[in-house]
């Protein structure tokens, strides 16, 4: 796939179209061969089953990154934790204050959040929530997720492995089969406000499968994570091109590990060589998509994640938490906006 930004009009004609796989906009699309073969026109019953299963989910979005190790799973878990906090905790955190116990207990504006980890070969989500020992259970309603707390449910292949370190060495069809089951057969409860889907780095089988199934099921779009270095930004260009090719809206770009904030003196040091391309913000501008913000590198972020904690609750006054609060608000605004202006 070319690195150059694609024409905004160069969008997917849809797998059911007679032009599928043949239109000029199909050139370079990862699904081109599949669409051209006519497979996409064959009715896959799972598409409608997933559409039905996803009716209870108000907002669903993918978290993408071009490279591994840029903080995609960290962001997915911290975003989900932040979305699950009540308004009182959020408003205190905005003032840099931690909430009191009674704030946490208060049963107000409970937002139901789900996290689906489709990074099948490198599932780190169970660890990010401190849920490594959990398992998925079957019930007559479907697969029951593991619960971080009442309003935050998590599903990952990590809960199905006998040992956390067991490798998953699967070819495409097997991965696709499990993703289909996750999307169709998990019982998330009566309703979910947000489903955050953590993906592997790059654009591979997992991405194509999830997009094919969720495109019909009101997928809000994708959040793309990068670090400031040129090498990460180049890969993110491919992610943004992928979104355009498969016709999914980009909710925005997040730049992670943008400078190091010293926990003692609070001074910020740009530890990565400034990007020639201008980093995430320039990239977002180039593609005409929103830039959601920058999260600095902070060792306390890593500690909080390794202990399955929300940075907003643990260290509300930190620049990383304040940046995340801003980003969460923009994600809420963007997803509401995209829903109101749905074009597909
Ligand atoms: N802003 C940050 N400050 C400090 N540490 C961070 C920050 N963001 C991520 N990290 C740390 O960087 C490491 C990699 O993060 P993470 O596992 O989220 O990356 P990833 O992009 O999901 O990687 P992969 O796709 O390979 O699974 C983790 O140890 C995480 O705690």
Residue 321: its H or E element: helix 319-340
Residues 158 and 246 in one domain: yes
31 vs 48, 67, 247, CA distance in Å?
20, 21, 12
pLDDT at 5: 39
Find residue 291's DSSP bridge partners. 253
Q: What is the DSSP letter of 300?
A: H
pLDDT at 105: 57
Q: What is the pTM of this model?
A: 0.87
Residues 105 and 204 in one domain: yes
- Report the separation in Å between the CA atom of 74 and the middle of ligand 1, taken as the mean of its atom positions: 5
pLDDT at 3: 39
Residues 185 and 272 in one domain: yes
36/18 Cα distance (integer angstroms)? 9
Residues 333 and 269 in one domain: yes
For ligand 1, residues with CB inside 6 Å are 65, 68-74, 119, 122, 124, 201, 256-257, 295, 297-298, 301-302, 305, 320
For residues 192 and 56, the answer to whether their CB atoms sit within 8 Å is yes
- The sign one gets for the Cα dihedral 230, 235, 239, 245 is positive
pLDDT at 175: 85
Q: Which residues are annotated as a binding site for ATP?
A: 66-73
Beta carbons within 10 angstroms of residue 278's beta carbon: 15
72/170 Cα distance (integer angstroms)? 22
SS3 293: strand
Residues 67 and 190 in one domain: yes
Q: CATH number of the domain that 263 lies in?
A: 3.40.50.300
Residues 3 and 150 in one domain: no
49 vs 77, 180, 186, CA distance in Å?
27, 10, 12
- The sign one gets for the Cα dihedral 324, 327, 333, 335 is negative
SS3 317: coil
252/229 Cα distance (integer angstroms)? 18
Instruction: Supply the range of the domain harboring residue 14.
Output: 1-41
List of residues 6+ apart from 179 with CB closer than 8 A: 118, 120, 206, 209, 210, 213
Q: Which residues are annotated as a binding site for [4Fe-4S] cluster?
A: 12, 26, 29, 35, 262, 265
pLDDT at 262: 79
pLDDT at 273: 66
Q: Which residues are annotated as a binding site?
A: 12, 26, 29, 35, 66-73, 262, 265
pLDDT at 231: 75
pLDDT at 251: 96
Residues 59 and 34 in one domain: no
**CA 19 to the chain's CA centroid:** 30
- Mean pLDDT per block of 10 residues along the chain (344 residues) reads 42 76 78 74 83 95 92 97 94 89 64 95 92 89 95 94 72 84 95 96 89 90 90 83 91 91 78 68 91 93 92 94 97 83 52
- Report the separation in Å between the CA atom of 283 and the middle of ligand 1, taken as the mean of its atom positions: 21
For residues 296 and 249, the answer to whether their CB atoms sit within 8 Å is no
For residues 137 and 143, the answer to whether their CB atoms sit within 8 Å is yes
Q: DSSP states of 235-252 as a string? A: HHHHHHHHHHHTT--EEE
Best CA proximity match to 55, nearest among 181, 206, 197, 184: 184
Residues 24 and 173 in one domain: no
Residues 29 and 116 in one domain: no
Residues 5 and 63 in one domain: no
- Report the separation in Å between the CA atom of 124 and the middle of ligand 1, taken as the mean of its atom positions: 10
- The sign one gets for the Cα dihedral 248, 15, 39, 216 is positive
ipTM above 0.95 for this complex: yes
Number of domains in the chain: 2
- Report the separation in Å between the CA atom of 68 and the middle of ligand 1, taken as the mean of its atom positions: 8
pLDDT at 29: 74
pLDDT at 40: 66
pLDDT at 343: 46
Residues 27 and 99 in one domain: no
Residues 17 and 103 in one domain: no
Angle in degrees, CA 174, 22, 252, rounded to 5: 65
90/52 Cα distance (integer angstroms)? 33
């Amino acid at each position: 796939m070319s690195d150059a930004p694609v024409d905004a009009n160069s969008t997917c004609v849809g797998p059911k179209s007679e032009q599928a796989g043949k239109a000029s906009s199909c050139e370079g699309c990862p699904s081109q061969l599949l669409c051209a073969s006519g497979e996409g026109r064959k009715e896959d019953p799972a598409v409608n089953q997933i559409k039905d299963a996803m009716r209870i989910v108000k907002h669903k979005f993918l978290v993408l990154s071009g490279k591994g190790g840029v903080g995609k799973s960290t962001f997915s878990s911290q975003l989900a934790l932040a979305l699950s906090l009540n308004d009182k905790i959020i408003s205190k955190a905005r003032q840099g204050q931690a909430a009191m116990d009674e704030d946490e207990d208060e049963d107000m504006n409970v937002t139901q959040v789900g996290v689906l980890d489709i990074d099948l070969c490198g599932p780190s989500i169970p660890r990010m929530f401190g849920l490594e020992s959990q398992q998925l259970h079957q019930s007559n309603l479907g697969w029951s997720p593991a619960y971080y707390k009442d309003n935050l449910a998590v599903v990952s292949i990590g809960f199905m492995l006998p040992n956390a370190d067991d490798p998953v060495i699967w070819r495409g069809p097997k991965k696709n089969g499990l993703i289909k089951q996750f999307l169709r057969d998990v019982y998330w409860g009566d309703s979910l406000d947000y489903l955050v889907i953590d993906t592997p780095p790059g654009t591979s089988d997992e991405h194509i499968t999830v997009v094919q199934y969720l495109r019909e099921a009101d997928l809000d779009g994708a959040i793309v994570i990068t670090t400031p270095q040129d090498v990460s930004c180049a890969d993110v260009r491919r992610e943004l091109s992928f979104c355009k090719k498969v016709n999914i809206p980009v909710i925005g770009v997040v730049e992670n590990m943008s400078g190091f904030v010293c926990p003692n003196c609070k001074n910020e040091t740009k530890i990565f060589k400034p990007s020639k391309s201008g980093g995430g913000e320039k990239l977002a501008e180039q593609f005409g998509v929103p830039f959601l913000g920058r999260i600095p590198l902070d060792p306390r972020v890593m500690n909080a994640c390794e202990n399955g904690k929300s940075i907003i609750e643990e260290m509300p006054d930190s620049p990383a938490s304040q940046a995340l609060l801003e980003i969460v608000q923009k994600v809420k605004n963007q997803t509401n906006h995209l829903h109101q202006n749905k074009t597909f």
